[in-house]
Amino acid sequence: MSLNTVNKVSQEASSTDYPVKSIDWLTRLIGFDTVSRHSNLALINDVQAYCEQLGLTVDLTFNKEKNKANLFVTVPAGQDADQINHGLVLSGHTDVVPVDGQTWTSDPFVATIRDDKLYGRGACDMKGFIACALALLPQAVALSNQGKLRRPLHLALSFDEEVGCLGAPLILADLKMRGITPDYCIVGEPTNMTMVVAHKGIAVYRCRVHGKSAHSSLTHQGVNAISYASRLIGFVDELAQAISHRDDNDDLFDVPYSTLSVGTIHGGTATNIVPNLCEFTFDYRNLPHMTQDDIVAPIQTKIAELTEQMQARAPETGIELLQEESVPAMRDGDNAELQALVTALTGDDERHKVAYATEGGQYTNSGIPTIICGPGSIEQAHKADEFVALSEIERCDGFLQKLLESCTA
């Protein structure tokens, strides 16, 4: 994108003439480059100004560097004091994945409509849902002002979901401190507007194998870090096979078993040097009833075995296992009442469980019943020419309209 295009998008996005329709809001949101490595403050500030223009009070929570923020805003429920700290949360993340190395047909940060599809980075993951929620706010405010809103409606926008769901815990901590205990949460990740009732957790680990260098003609004087890393990787692969055949796997998941997968490996400096360091990473995607200890305990046992062999040759060698990322699974069963509500509103009782993770597990762990439901397909996420079908936005608008009506009953 050229500098002139960036400036044009920035100027358009900063206009106080806010959109009314979801499609127009989505066009505006895509104009903000909120790739996770960048700040999201321009988008957050824009949404904050919009909410304040509607007479709402916005609460922000920031990362340590103060260059990223979460936004939480409440449309209050009439004068019903019993409901003031409860209500329904619509949750979405503002960050998007990079476009580096991808070939796009059109500018990824300028929304483009072709053949009844809207293209742009974040179109489905997940600015489409946020756009629908923002378009709903004026009507919610009007109902609140008329005293017709019986349950508060909250909007929660987070940062850095794509790199470990880092923002949502700050929102949840802030709500706890303020005594706000929402009844339900709907996370608008792309599900083709079907109901996802559970998802797997994610844990990412980095393993560092510290060997001892030597000339490759004198291998007996060294400890080959790559060789020992490969043995541990082989064990991780064997463990992956074992957990895929457990008796307690869940066929309702799109991938019905927990998975282990080695993602990166780096080591060595030259072919004539016994390498003294090798690092690799792997991720664990666990079914909700399984824990990280189900794989960490056997891996630690294998590490102890290999470390003993290494240190018998050189005491300074060894293996480190470091956890880099952890996102909890979202359990089914904690959200039965919410499932019943969504089924009643949509007439669709189809339920899904998925292998990808969201902020839903963090809401569930905080005691807030949660489901995942949003426009677009996860198959379009993170790809070049990411898109959301306009019909999906229309369906999401209809769903949120019914949801708002349920808050007046």
Distances (CA, A) of 291 to 117, 203, 295: 40, 10, 8
* 339 close to 351: Cβ distance less than 8 angstroms: yes
Distances (CA, A) of 300 to 199, 306, 321: 26, 10, 8
Distances (CA, A) of 80 to 86, 139, 221, 308, 403: 11, 19, 77, 66, 19
Strand runs (DSSP E) across 48-183, as ranges?
Answer: 58-62, 69-75, 88-93, 112-114, 117-119, 153-158
What's the rounded Cα separation, in Å, for the pair 235 and 197? 33
3-state secondary structure 37-71: CCCCHHHHHHHHHHHHHCCCCEEEEECCCCCCEEE
- Tokens 């990412």 belong to residue: 204
Q: Annotated catalytic sites, by residue?
A: 95, 161
- Tokens 């055949």 belong to residue: 245
